[in-house]
């Protein structure tokens, strides 16, 4: 073996060692990632990808609201009482879009007087249409303030009624958005999926 052969052998050894080290490192990263991914339950993995979210509504009392996350968005599900529903026509003149004319803010099947599939259940995104703050529920009726209950955004004072319809004279330009959803059963709503007609 001459000097050139020894040089070539050394270079080959160094190259082999470099590649072997890189492969070992990658294998380490992969091995660390696999337990992490498999530690997510199927429902968590599906939700991370934006899958529909089920909301059990069977035990909700009238006037009760639950919050869930769908695609990282806060969703309000409010079971409106008969009394709440009876107040919906009270303030039509003070609402900016009482008839849900802005088509982007709800699926066609909720562009009705209740903005819902079933009058009792309101499903809206909990994101103010001004700059995206989360509105607070304010269901207390205060006749002296002409307030029949609804949602209040503390960031800049936008107000929405019990159907998520925005009042005139506030910064929010449109009603709260209604996400696609449907009733799988009487006691179960699926948010993020519909059949085109809920
Ligand atoms: S973000 Fe709600 S009023 Fe500004």
Q: What is the pTM of this model?
A: 0.77
Q: Residue 47: what pLDDT?
A: 61
Q: Residue 196: what pLDDT?
A: 80
Q: Compute the distance from residue 149 Cα to the ligand 1 centre, in Å.
A: 18
Look at ligand 1, atom 3, and give the residue with the nearest C-alpha: 156
Could you give the percent of the chain with pLDDT greater than 90?
71
Confidence of residue 35 (pLDDT cuts 50, 70, 90): very low
* pLDDT at residue 16 is higher than 50: no
Which of 10-24, 82-96, 129-143, 150-164 shows the lowest per-residue confidence on average (mean pLDDT)?
10-24
Atom of ligand 1 nearest to the CA of 158: 3
Ligand 1: which of 96, 128, 159 to mutate, judged by most atoms within 8 Å of the beta carbon?
A: 128
Look at ligand 1, atom 1, and give the residue with the nearest C-alpha: 131
Mean pLDDT across the chain:
84
Pocket of ligand 1 (CB under 6 A): 128, 130-131, 133, 153, 155-158, 171-172
SS (H, E, C) 26-75: HHHHHHHHHHHHHHCCHHHHHHHCCCCEEEECCCCCCCCEEEEEECCEEE
Q: Residue 123: what pLDDT?
A: 98
Look at ligand 1, atom 4, and give the residue with the nearest C-alpha: 156
Q: Residue 143: what pLDDT?
A: 92
Q: Residue 20: what pLDDT?
A: 42
DSSP, collapsed to helix, strand or coil, labels residue 125 as strand
Q: Residue 4: what pLDDT?
A: 52
* pLDDT at residue 6 is higher than 90: no
Confidence of residue 85 (pLDDT cuts 50, 70, 90): very high
Sheet of 73-79, strand order: 65-70, 73-79, 121-125
Q: Smallest Cα–Cα separation from 172: which of 141, 138, 126?
A: 126
Q: Compute the distance from residue 154 Cα to the ligand 1 centre, in Å.
A: 7
By annotation, the residues acting in catalysis are: 156
Q: Residue 198: what pLDDT?
A: 72
Confidence of residue 69 (pLDDT cuts 50, 70, 90): very high
Q: Compute the half-sphere exposure of residue 61: CA atoms within 13 Å on the CB side of its CA.
A: 2
Q: Compute the distance from residue 142 Cα to the ligand 1 centre, in Å.
A: 22
Of residues 14 and 49, more confidence is placed in 49
Ligand 1: which of 150, 152, 156 to mutate, judged by most atoms within 8 Å of the beta carbon?
A: 156
């Amino acid at each position: 073996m001459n000097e050139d052969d020894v040089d070539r052998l050394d270079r080959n050894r160094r190259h082999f060692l470099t590649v072997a080290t890189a492969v070992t490192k990658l294998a380490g990263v992969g091995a660390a990632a696999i337990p992490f991914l498999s530690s997510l339950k199927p429902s968590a993995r599906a939700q991370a990808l934006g899958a529909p979210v089920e909301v059990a509504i069977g035990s909700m009392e009238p006037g009760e609201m639950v919050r869930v996350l769908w695609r990282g968005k806060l969703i309000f599900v409010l079971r409106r009482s008969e009394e709440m529903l009876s107040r919906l026509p009270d303030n039509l003149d003070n609402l900016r879009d009482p008839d849900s004319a802005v088509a982007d803010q709800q699926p066609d099947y909720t562009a009705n007087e209740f903005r819902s599939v079933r009058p009792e259940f309101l499903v809206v995104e909990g994101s103010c249409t001004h700059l995206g703050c989360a509105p607070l529920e304010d269901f207390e009726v205060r006749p002296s303030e002409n307030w029949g209950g609804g949602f209040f955004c503390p960031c800049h004072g936008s107000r929405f009624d019990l159907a998520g319809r925005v009042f005139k004279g506030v910064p929010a330009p449109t009603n709260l958005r209604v996400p696609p959803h449907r009733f799988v059963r009487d006691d179960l709503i699926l948010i993020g999926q519909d059949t085109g007609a809920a």
